[in-house]
Structure 1
Amino acid sequence: MKYPLFKITIECMTFNQSQYIGKTLDGFCIQQTEFPFVCCIIDDASTDGEQIVINTYLETHFDFSESSVSYTKETDYAKIIYAQHKVNKQCFFMVLFLKENHYSQKKSKTEYLKKFNEGIPYEAICEGDDYWIDPEKLSKQVSFLETHKEYGFTYARAYTCNEKDEISNKYIFGSNAETFNDIIARNTIPTLTTVYRKALYSNYLKEIKRSDQWGMGDYPMWLYFILHSKVHFMNDIVGVYRVLPESASHSRSLKKKIKFVIGEYRVRLDMLKYANRKDLVFLAQKELIKGLVISIAYKIAILCRLK
């Protein structure tokens, strides 16, 4: 199979997000670009009917005619579907319906895309409960990186919404961070708004050993990227970040909140060690204490409301 010369890959990891995934897919398909792009959607063996939702979306919006470039194949690990959008001819989907849940087995989900992704210079990330609203997001960010070789990645801002799709105008996620010190102090980079060079990401994978204690994959990446390249902040609102009651970064459970705060602290310490920046350890400790205090105060406030 000969694929187009894709300029960018969109990586979408999803599991049991059937009620949200439709908007995520819409956000991909509205992108207006002068280059072909491919959305790699990996469903981690969902049990809530999400695979049916994605499959129905494909059948409705993508070209599976005899003259199309589409194909479907079965492997020992997944059912794979590749197709081109009926209307947006620059938009292609590569969907992997995994047969076993890889997260619970601590198995990599991205290894299946390595060969397919070879030669594609840029990558974006959007998980299955977030979504894009700016049809020029990819075009603007790729254009910037194409003309500013010293920059390794670019990001923007995002609205926040809850599980009921209620968008908050009071809290907009994302603000300018130009230095390593800025991001060590506070992660202000919404993952769904980023685009980065794959070469930089490849170097990150070679040099940084991921720790199970981190509990997050994006924050150490941004810290590494800003150590090895310039970062560009685009002051546009390009998407919507969904804040759920229970997720990797948010929880009503004090135990889970504390675990997340400690994981964030571990990231800071490990990346400070990598950067040989002992001068910022006190800052990391201060952020740890602040995070623990906020988590405990939040739990106390909930208990008081229940009374």
Structure 2
Amino acid sequence: MIEKPLVSVSCITYNHYPYIRQCIEGILKQKINFNMEVVVYDDASTDGTSDVLKEYASKFPEIFKVLIQKENQYSKGIRGNAVRYNFPRCEGKYIAFCEGDDYWTDPYKLQKQVDFLEKNPNFSTSCTNYSEVDEKGEILKKEAWDGIRLSPTISHEVILQKYKPKILTTLFKKEAFKNGFPDIFFEVFNADNFLSAIATEYGPVGFLNFTSGCYRVHNNGVWSGKNTIQQFENQLDTFQKMKLYFLKDSQQRAISNRIYQIRRRLSRLYAKEKDFVKSLSQMKHMVKVNPIDSSKVFLGNLIAPFR
């Protein structure tokens, strides 16, 4: 009888043909003393990605679970596909993520993270540093995390207020999601933020200071393909929805602070584009929270188009 996997690796793909082999090979090169499985969801790729997935599933049927959609679900507005389609098929105690255009570079990534979580049962998640690369694999930024992000412990409040781990570096305890996911989770664009926030209600994140993989920045990326304004608009919508779910006073304060900072940035970005109607719309919300800071931001916005 085959022993159940300790780790399930969730991989979401869509038209990742130029990158998918590098992604899968990085997973297969993991040096581990436990069983793992690779749970793949392909959202009806049209570029040959699904053929590569079928090839690996045929070579390694004991490891790969591949689900290939006939119709693209993302274009229908369906979100949270990792949770919707992969989580129910994951049998591991832990769930790792590596989307089809990203890849792991450290062959001991999973082993190091499993060892940490096994020794520290009060933690829900482990994450690491990462590098950013372009579509050709050229390094854009080594060790993309610095400063306060190097803290060995990342609390639930920090996840809500400041930052989250990069999903390609994370290893979650599946038990952290034992209460399931609210309907509103599947309405947000930045599902990674929501996912990390849900997990860290169960316990903090342990940051291990090594670089485990590469996040690819390219024009066809779901996130990196958006401009800065679009990214912040999506963040604003995500955290406004998260505020409807995380209702404790400490959670509300943390999310409100995050929303204020997002509005602050958006107001400046709109001003630089001379879209003063949208800029002032953000300011109206900000001034109710922090009138003094909002006044400073307003003055800066007046000269922003000329900088």
Q: TM-score, normalised by structure 1?
A: 0.76
Q: Give yes or no for contact 2:154–2:204 (8 Å, CA) kept in 1.
A: yes
Q: Which structure 1 segments of 5+ residues have no match?
A: 64-82, 85-91, 301-307
- Residues 1:190 and 2:166 are matched in the alignment: yes
Cα 1:194–1:185 shift into 2, 3 Å: same
Percent of aligned positions with the same letter in both sequences?
Answer: 25
Q: SS where residue 270 of structure 1 aligns?
A: coil
Q: Give yes or no for contact 2:43–2:74 (8 Å, CA) kept in 1.
A: yes
**Aligned-pair CA distance for 1:165:** 1.3
The aligned residue for residue 104 of structure 1 is 75
2: CA distance, partners of 1:180 / 1:287: 18
Q: SS where residue 75 of structure 2 aligns?
A: coil
Number of aligned residues? 268
1: CA distance, partners of 2:40 / 2:211: 23
- Residues 1:138 and 2:110 are matched in the alignment: yes
Show CA shifts across 1:46-76 (max 9, x none). 01111123334556xx25xxxxxxxxxxxxx
Q: Give yes or no for contact 1:16–1:46 (8 Å, CA) kept in 2.
A: yes
Amino acid in the other structure paired with 1:20: Y
**Aligned-pair CA distance for 1:222:** 1.3
Structure with greater strand share of residues = 1
CA RMSD of aligned residues (A): 2.8
The aligned residue for residue 41 of structure 2 is 42
Q: Which structure 2 segments of 5+ residues have no match?
A: 275-307
Q: Give yes or no for contact 1:220–1:271 (8 Å, CA) kept in 2.
A: no
After TM superposition, the runs of 4+ consecutive aligned structure 1 residues lying more than 6 A away are: 297-300
- Residues 1:155 and 2:127 are matched in the alignment: yes
Structure with greater helix share of residues = 2
The aligned residue for residue 285 of structure 1 is 259
The aligned residue for residue 90 of structure 2 is 117
Q: TM-score, normalised by structure 2?
A: 0.76
The aligned residue for residue 202 of structure 1 is 178
Q: Give yes or no for contact 2:39–2:89 (8 Å, CA) kept in 1.
A: no
- Residues 1:236 and 2:203 are matched in the alignment: no
Amino acid in the other structure paired with 1:98: Q
Q: SS where residue 65 of structure 2 aligns?
A: strand
- Residues 1:164 and 2:140 are matched in the alignment: no
Amino acid in the other structure paired with 1:40: V
Show CA shifts across 1:84-117 (max 9, x none). 4xxxxxxx22222222223234285655656643
Q: SS where residue 178 of structure 2 aligns?
A: helix
Q: SS where residue 50 of structure 2 aligns?
A: helix
Which residues in structure 2 correspond to 1:45-56 (within 5 Å)? 45-56=44-55
Q: Give yes or no for contact 2:235–2:262 (8 Å, CA) kept in 1.
A: yes
The aligned residue for residue 245 of structure 1 is 219
2: CA distance, partners of 1:246 / 1:115: 28
Amino acid in the other structure paired with 2:14: F
